[in-house]
Amino acid sequence: MLTRRNFMFSVAAMAGTGSALACPAPASVGNAHSVLMLNAACGDPDTPNVFEPAILRIKPGDSVTFVPTDAGHNSASKRGMIPNGADAWNGAMDTNLTVEFPIPGIYGHICLPHYEWGMVGLIVVGNDLSNLHSVKKVRHPGSARKVFRSLLKELEA
């Protein structure tokens, strides 16, 4: 009989052997996409609090659902890191949030409780990087500075 206690022992034993559990995959179906909010990067438990994918490329008019795969996360647009005329968003904790992206450009987003620790991401709508200069000028605390710098470098490559 599988009891809660036996289940916990099994999970602990698997973790001790270094077995990798399957990571959930973000979905993209037609013009609907998802970004997962995770307590740790898939395949790298030493990288805590991440959006997966960290950079998402979509078409104008597509929507993105931010999915709190693990508890304690939200998604909010980062002031100064969205195109002119685009609507800002601020999702509730532990709740799916769907946002439509009609305006091309770069959108920076953060998890409010884990922003300083580097839980940040980018959504690129269309091939329009015209707001890259203004996005790069935004200042960030703690590890967010390093992660955004790395993501923006990846965009420019």
Question: Annotation-wise, does 140 bind a ligand?
Answer: no
How buried is residue 138: exposed, middle or buried, by Cβ count under 10 Å (0-12/13-18/19+)?
Answer: middle
Rounded to whole angstroms, the Cα distance separating 106 from 134 reads 10
Backbone angles phi, psi at 147, to 5 degrees: -70, -45
Backbone angles phi, psi at 135, to 5 degrees: -65, -40
Rounded to whole angstroms, the Cα distance separating 131 from 157 reads 16
**From residue 103, how far is each of 56, 79, 97, 130 by CA, in Å?**
15, 16, 18, 12
Question: Annotation-wise, does 1 bind a ligand?
Answer: no
Which residue bears the tokens 């609090």?
A: 49
Query: Which secondary structure element, helix H or strand E, spans residue 38, and what is its range?
Result: strand 32-41
| Binding site feature residues for Cu cation | 73, 111, 114, 119
Annotated binding residues, written as ranges, equal 73, 111, 114, 119
